[in-house]
A and B are shown apart, each in its own frame.
Chain A
Amino acid sequence: MADLISYIIRKIILAIPVVVLATLIVFLMLYLTGDPVAQLRSPHSSVEDIQKIREKYGFDQPIIVQYGRFLVNLVHGDLGSSVAQGTTGTSVSSLIVEKLPRTLELMAIGLTISYSLGIPLGVFSALRQNTWKDRSVMVFTLVAYAMPAFWLGILLMLLFSVYLHVLPTEGTVGGFKSLILPAMTLGLGNAALTTRMMRSSMLEVARQDYITQLRSRGLPERDVIFKHAMKNAILPVITVIGLDIGWFVGGAVIVETVFAWPGIGMLITDSITGSDFPTVQGCILVLAFFVILGNLVADILYAFADPRVRLG
């Protein structure tokens, strides 16, 4: 147990430099075009506005001081203010706080879909290795993975809303019903990845000596597969939960745009079209935190699932 706690603490401490690096990269994005002010002003801002921005961010000072200021603001929850038409002056953090729950909701359902579809399908496919059932699952995963999220969204929309009229097209008006299509769009690609991973992991585990050993003890096949093989095979899937969360964060931007789902993703798209860089920056930073957090959670989950990692 002490090992486990020490492992978790170490993982948390190791995440700190990553967070700092993430803030640094997001901060440096301001300079990508040379003039940071150009990124922060809206097309409508006046000369005074620009001067205000210069003062607020201290662009006349050395870059390290600017970064320090950026960090201090960040700790106080100040991500700057929006410069887009309509929301000019609104603080970015309040915009994010308003939209974040929507995105989290979408991601939660999407993750659920992707694992509850991917894991069983992968196991099924591995058990039927090299049969037509396995091959069709593999073709499905190839297509589902190759399918860009936005086009999948459009197709689903066409099918369920335009032709079948069973689910709402966009927005949130339909309540949970409105959530189904975006969540499916989001989850399907990752479900394909999970299926393939689970399948190859199952096949790998099936080759291990301990599986033969367990069979040689006369254990029923369902115990061998569902108790022993699965618990071992799921370990590599757990290691990529962090990456999956990253995938979902990226996917959410597209899916929310397609389905006009008012979350952070849509906020980013709107801000890009509206040249509202402070908001883009803030959103990216928040999403980065979530990705890092997701990886941390994945590491900790893994430590619980695999008794071998706690030693390190």
Chain B
Amino acid sequence: MTRIRGRLSDRLLSWRMLGGARQTFVDIFTRGRKNGMVVTGFTIILVVTLLAVLSPWLPVAKPTALSPDLLQAPSSSHWFGTDQLGRDVFSRVLWGARISLVVATLAIVFSLLIGVVMGLTAGYFGGTVDYVIAGTIDLFWTFPAFLLALAFAAALGPSLTNVIIAISISYWAGFARLMRGQALSVRERLFVEASRALGANNRRIMFTHVLPNCIAPLIVWASVGVADAITIESSLSFLGAGTQPPTPSWGYMLHSGLDALHEAPWISTFPGVVLLITVLGFNLLGDGLRDVLDPRMKGLRL
């Protein structure tokens, strides 16, 4: 019994060692505050997220509510105007943000999970396992995520869940590649060899040295990844392979505004602007975090 407890506490201790990752979050908070890009990006994301979360309680029309005011230009009653069916574009943009953010975040969380597991497995086992996984990663990595997502979405049929699945299976390779590359390079670092000399096994090295040292680049990539996923989601909807009407989605709104481009440019302009700002926000956050977390890039603005 004591033996088991001893081993259990060993394991707990080893998990506590993951605290090495805490340092990353401390870095993000203390140094990120001083970085203009991080602050701007974070603010944009915060505002968009708040609006999206609160949209059901905001005093705007329901996004699916039809009205007789067809193709109205922006005014005080319809800030972003109305579309061909008389729906309020502002409300639809807000509700669209919910869809975009949920889809993108979930897709990136799943990609991250697949990627980390695959990358770490390849790095952990090496040899044949690594060869096979690395080959698969490379294929998915070289193949454009958008096209892959399109193919999967087409095969699965258009729906919200399917879009999330499609993006996840198309996007994981980036994370896996990053994770594997980091695992391979961290493994070569001397502190890992020192740890091995102390008697640490692969499992310990992977979870206490390799993984915590990969957290920073993973966070950077995840931030940029959400931006990519938002773009992919809206592109899929734009092509009719994503979320289906009447669900409000930025991509679909842009597409439907295409027919009325001459007479009512606001229908596609406003969702486009909001989409651009949101994507920009995540990209800024990602870029800023990279500067903050990668000391090599310090001083260099990119």
Are chains A and B native binding partners rather than an unrelated pairing? yes
| Segment among A86-94, A107-115, A148-156, A229-237 that sits at the interface with chain B | A148-156
A41 contacts B by Cβ under 8 Å = no
Q: Are B240 and A269 in contact (CB under 8 A)?
A: yes
- With contact pairs A154-B254, A162-B261, A250-B147 given, residues A200 and B302 touching in the complex (Cβ less than 8 Å): yes
State which of B142, B241, B279 has its C-beta within 8 Å of the C-beta of A148: B279
In the bound assembly, the distance between CA atoms of A150 and B238 in angstroms comes to 8
Chain A residues whose C-beta falls within 8 Å of the C-beta of B56 in the assembled complex: none
B136 contacts A by Cβ under 8 Å = yes
Chain B residues whose C-beta falls within 8 Å of the C-beta of A162 in the assembled complex: 261-262
In the bound assembly, the distance between CA atoms of A273 and B157 in angstroms comes to 10
In the bound assembly, the distance between CA atoms of A26 and B254 in angstroms comes to 30
A57 contacts B by Cβ under 8 Å = no
In the bound assembly, the distance between CA atoms of A149 and B235 in angstroms comes to 8
A71 contacts B by Cβ under 8 Å = no
- With contact pairs A142-B283, A142-B284, A154-B261 given, residues A272 and B301 touching in the complex (Cβ less than 8 Å): no
State which of A146, A154, A246 has its C-beta within 8 Å of the C-beta of B279: A146
Q: Report A272-286 CB contacts with B as 1/0, cut-off 8 Å.
A: 110001001100100
Q: Are A150 and B157 in contact (CB under 8 A)?
A: no
| Segment among A17-25, A47-55, A95-103, A175-183 that sits at the interface with chain B | A17-25
- A269 and chain B: residue at smallest CB distance: B239
In the bound assembly, the distance between CA atoms of A17 and B136 in angstroms comes to 10
In the bound assembly, the distance between CA atoms of A246 and B261 in angstroms comes to 30
- With contact pairs A30-B155, A253-B239 given, residues A291 and B143 touching in the complex (Cβ less than 8 Å): yes
Chain B residues whose C-beta falls within 8 Å of the C-beta of A129 in the assembled complex: 300
State which of B135, B239, B251 has its C-beta within 8 Å of the C-beta of A272: B239
In the bound assembly, the distance between CA atoms of A145 and B287 in angstroms comes to 12
Q: Are B155 and A29 in contact (CB under 8 A)?
A: yes
Chain A residues whose C-beta falls within 8 Å of the C-beta of B95 in the assembled complex: none
Chain B residues whose C-beta falls within 8 Å of the C-beta of A172 in the assembled complex: none
Secondary structure of the A side of the interface? helix
State which of A21, A142, A249 has its C-beta within 8 Å of the C-beta of B147: A249
Q: Are A273 and B142 in contact (CB under 8 A)?
A: no
Residues of B within 8 A of A (CB): 135-136, 138-139, 142-147, 150-152, 154-157, 227, 231, 234-235, 238-241, 251, 254-255, 257-258, 261-262, 265, 268, 272, 275-276, 279-280, 283-284, 287, 300-302
Closest 10 CB pairs of A and B: A250-B144, A250-B146, A246-B144, A151-B272, A146-B279, A146-B280, A32-B155, A29-B155, A250-B147, A284-B151
18 A-B interface contacts by CB (under 8 A): A17-B135, A32-B156, A33-B155, A135-B301, A138-B301, A142-B280, A143-B276, A148-B234, A150-B235, A155-B272, A196-B302, A200-B300, A243-B142, A246-B144, A246-B147, A250-B146, A253-B150, A292-B142
Residues of A within 8 A of B (CB): 17-18, 21-22, 25-26, 29-30, 32-33, 39, 129-130, 134-135, 138, 142-143, 145-151, 154-155, 157-158, 162, 196, 199-200, 203, 242-243, 246-247, 249-251, 253-254, 257-258, 268-269, 271-273, 277, 280-281, 284, 287-288, 291-292, 295
